[in-house]
Structures are given as structure tokens and as C-alpha cells.
Amino acid sequence: MNFSELARHLGVSATTVSRVLGGKAEAYRISEETVARVRAAAARLEAAPDPLGAGLRRGTLGMIGLLVPDVTNPFFSSLARAIELELRRRGLAVQLSDSAEDPTTEEELLAAMLGRRLDGMILAPVGRVSPRLEALLRGSPMPLVVVDRVLPHLGIPSVCLDNAAAGRLAVAHLIQSGHRRIGCLRGNRDSHPDQERFRGIREAMGEAGLGPEALLVAGTGYSREEGLAGAEALLNRASPPTAVVSLSGQGIFGLLQTVERRGLAIPQDLSVVAFDEQPWSAFMHPPLTTVVQPIEEMGRRAVEMLCETEASREGGAGSAGGGEREAVVRLRGKLESRESVRTA
């Protein structure tokens, strides 16, 4: 049942129905009686506004797009959940797409979403930003915020972990526990998080008076296989590290596999700090000491930023364009100390 039909039934105009059901009865000072009649009839006949009609008229659909590299990754599924929840609170729906960690697919999907008439987009980029992706992003006709990674120099609002600080956190803990030879299992070195985490680690080592030779580096990507290869390289060193921090959430699988293959025990033979909570992290033998990201907050902030962007667009549309500041929110990670680090 649509508004015009309902209006005819009641002998009022569609406008009135729209005002009542759109919550504008007060503003237009519709009589209480009319309001009641419309409400009752609407309830009885299950009349609800058609979002398409309203959307077309308003130029907005109440839907924002969310593009992630892999919903199957616990980090992104938690993020998606947090984002959906917060958007729902604000009456917005989410269209989800998954780029399967593939930059080309990502470009296509982003272009498609940018084309649909969404009210905004939240993007968790796959990795390095291709020129084509950058062009898409620059030309974006809608509010956009980037999560998890910051795309330097693009001036797009972003929210991500303070990766450098998180890296420091991890090694500081290791150093404090007496470790002096530390392995770092890196992820995708093109990615901002990996670079930042690594930077934080190097700085923390330096501040503790440990030279570069004390930091053993391996790993070339975020996958399990790459984690395994990197771990092998680390443990094959003439004098292997006594502790390893894995910058990759999935790569830790590879490390664990290698450790097991060699019959090593954690933390007796090797201490481990992992990045990113996994569903089983707390239930391993032993439970894994982990740098956890404040995912809920990340989602909340992303939505906030998106809505602010939207608001400022409407509000300050014609104002002098000088104030466009690059907003990057960096969230603090937390070290969940469990049992995979041995105090030397």
C-alpha cells in the first residue's frame, strides 16, 4: 500500500500522509485527529514509505557501501559487523562487497559502488594503491572513508590502528621479558600497516640500545604460506631469534606450523607475539600473546567520520575550499599478554 492509495482511502492528500508517516506532523502542525487517522490506517494496511520513491526525490537512498578484501578474515568480519551496527543506529543500511584480496576486482567493485547512488562508502583497501584505484578515489562523487590502512597523500579521511605504536608495544614487551634477539615476520611490505609496524619495532629496539643486528627480518606477505616461508628463514639462521613477532594475522599459522615441525615448544624454545586476535588465539597451547586492535571502535569512528563528511558537504558546500584537512584517526592497540612469551 503506497501513500497515494492510502491518502485516497482517507480522503486526504498524499502530502499529508507523507508528513505524518515521515515524522513531520509536528513541524506542519497536522491536527491530532488527522495524525491518528493516518497512523491507524497505515498500521492496518501496512503502508510504509517506498525507499525508492523517497530516495529518488531526496537524492539519497540511506545506504552506504562497504568494500572489504575478505569477509572471511576475522578482522574484516568483525569490522563489518561493527560498521553495520553503527550504521543501523543511524538508520542507514549497508551494501557489502568482497574483493577477494584481488586489486583488479577491487577496482571494478569500487567503480560499481561509486556508480550506484549510495550515500557514502567505507573502503578497506586490499593493499597498494594502483593509479587506477587512486583515480577512482580522487574522483569519488560521494563521501568516502578508508579503514585499516591509510592511503598517504590522498587526503581521504581514514581510521586505522596506530601501527607504529602497536609495533613498539609488541617488542617492548619482548625486550622487557629479557629477549635480545628478536625476529620479525613481516606481511605485505607494500602495505602501510606493515611498514608502520616495522618502523615502530625498529624504533623501540633502538631506544632499548639494541642495534639492527639484533632484529632478524623475514616474511613477504600476509598469507599463511608466506608466513611459513618467512618463519623457516628466521629459524634457519645461524643464531636464530629467541622471540618472534608476527606482523601478519594469518601468517602466524605458518610460524606455528614451522615451530611444530621442528618440535620446538612455545614459549620455552621460542616466544611469540602475534598481531590481530584470532578466534582461537586465547585457546591455543599456549594461549597466544597478541596485539589486538580496537575493532569496534574502529568501525564506530569510521561511520562517524563518514557521517561528518556527509554533513559538512551539505553544510559548507559553497564555502572557501581551503579547510580540507586530511583527517587520519589512529587508534591505540592493546597488548593482550597471555602465555606465549617467556621471561628469560
CA-nearest of 199, 176, 342 to 266 is 342
Per CB under 8 A, 306 contacts a second copy: no
CA-nearest of 100, 99, 139, 145 to 119 is 145
Residue from 50, 190, 207, 326 touching a second copy (CB under 8 A): that is 50
Per CB under 8 A, 162 contacts a second copy: no
Distance, in Å, from the CA atom of 265 to the CA atom of 231, rounded to the nearest integer, reads 14
Between 52 and 238, CB nearer to a second copy:
52
- State the binding string over 107-146 for a second copy (x if CB under 8 A, else -): --------xxx-----------------------------
311 binds, among DNA, a second copy, none (CB under 5 to 8 A by kind): none
Distance, in Å, from the CA atom of 326 to the CA atom of 324, rounded to the nearest integer, reads 7
- State the binding string over 238-257 for a second copy (x if CB under 8 A, else -): ---------------x--xx
223 binds, among DNA, a second copy, none (CB under 5 to 8 A by kind): none
Segment near DNA (CB under 7 A); pick from 26-34, 95-103, 134-142, 174-182: 26-34
Contact 296, 75 (CB under 8 A): no
Q: Which amino acid is at 286?
A: P
Among positions 198-257, residues that touch DNA (CB under 7 A) are none
**How far apart are CB 14 and DNA at their closest, in Å?**
4
Between 150 and 256, CB nearer to a second copy:
256
Distance, in Å, from the CA atom of 8 to the CA atom of 308, rounded to the nearest integer, reads 40
For residue 206, the number of C-alpha atoms closer than 13 Å in the C-beta half-sphere is 7
Max alpha carbon distance in the chain (Å)? 89
Between 30 and 71, CB nearer to a second copy:
71
**How far apart are CB 5 and DNA at their closest, in Å?**
7
Between 14 and 63, CB nearer to a second copy:
63
Residue from 43, 52, 238, 320 touching a second copy (CB under 8 A): that is 52
Residue count (the chain): 344
- State the binding string over 256-285 for a second copy (x if CB under 8 A, else -): xx--x-----------------xxx--x-x
Alpha helices in the chain, H assignment, sequence order: 3-10, 14-21, 32-44, 51-58, 74-89, 103-115, 131-138, 163-176, 192-207, 224-236, 251-261, 295-315
Burial class (CB in 10 A: 0-12, 13-18, 19+), 209: exposed
Residue from 9, 14, 93, 327 touching DNA (CB under 7 A): that is 14
Per CB under 8 A, 44 contacts a second copy: no
Contact 184, 215 (CB under 8 A): yes
For residue 167, the number of C-alpha atoms closer than 13 Å in the C-beta half-sphere is 27
Per CB under 8 A, 74 contacts a second copy: yes
Rounded to whole angstroms, what are the CA distances from 270 to 186, 210, 231, 242, 308?
A: 17, 19, 12, 5, 47
Among positions 31-50, residues that touch DNA (CB under 7 A) are 31, 33-35, 48-50
CA-nearest of 33, 35, 38 to 25 is 35
Interacting residue ranges for DNA, rule: CB under 7 A: 2-4, 11-16, 18-19, 21-22, 24, 28-31, 33-35, 48-50, 52-54, 56-59
Interacting residue ranges for a second copy, rule: CB under 8 A: 48, 50-53, 55-56, 61, 63, 66, 70-72, 74, 77-78, 80-81, 84-85, 88, 93-98, 100, 115-117, 253, 256-257, 260, 278-280, 283, 285
